[in-house]
Structure 1
Amino acid sequence: MSDASIQAMIRADAAQVLHDVVEELPDARERLAYVRSMTEQAATKVLNLVEAAADDAEAVRKKGRELSDALNRLALSSNISPDRARALMKLCAAYASDAASFAAREKSLHTEIMMSQDFQDLSGQVINKVSRMLERAEPPLKDLVASLPAPASAATSAELGGVQTPDKALKQDDVDDLLASLGF
Structure 2
Amino acid sequence: MRQGEISLAGILALFSLYLMWKSTELPIGYIRGQGPGGGFWPFWLSAGMLLSCGAIAWNWWRGKSPASVSNEPLMDAFGWRTVVLVGGGVIGFVALIAVVSMYGAVCLFLIYYLRFLGRHSWFLTLAMAIALPIGLFFFFEGAMQISMPQGLPFTQPFFDVMYDIIY
Fold in common (TM above 0.5): no
Question: Which has the larger Rg?
Answer: 1
Going by fraction, where is helix more abundant, 1 or 2?
Answer: 1
Work out which structure has the larger RCO, using CA pairs closer than 8 Å and 6 or more positions apart in sequence.
Answer: 1
Per the normalisation by structure 2, the TM-score is 0.34
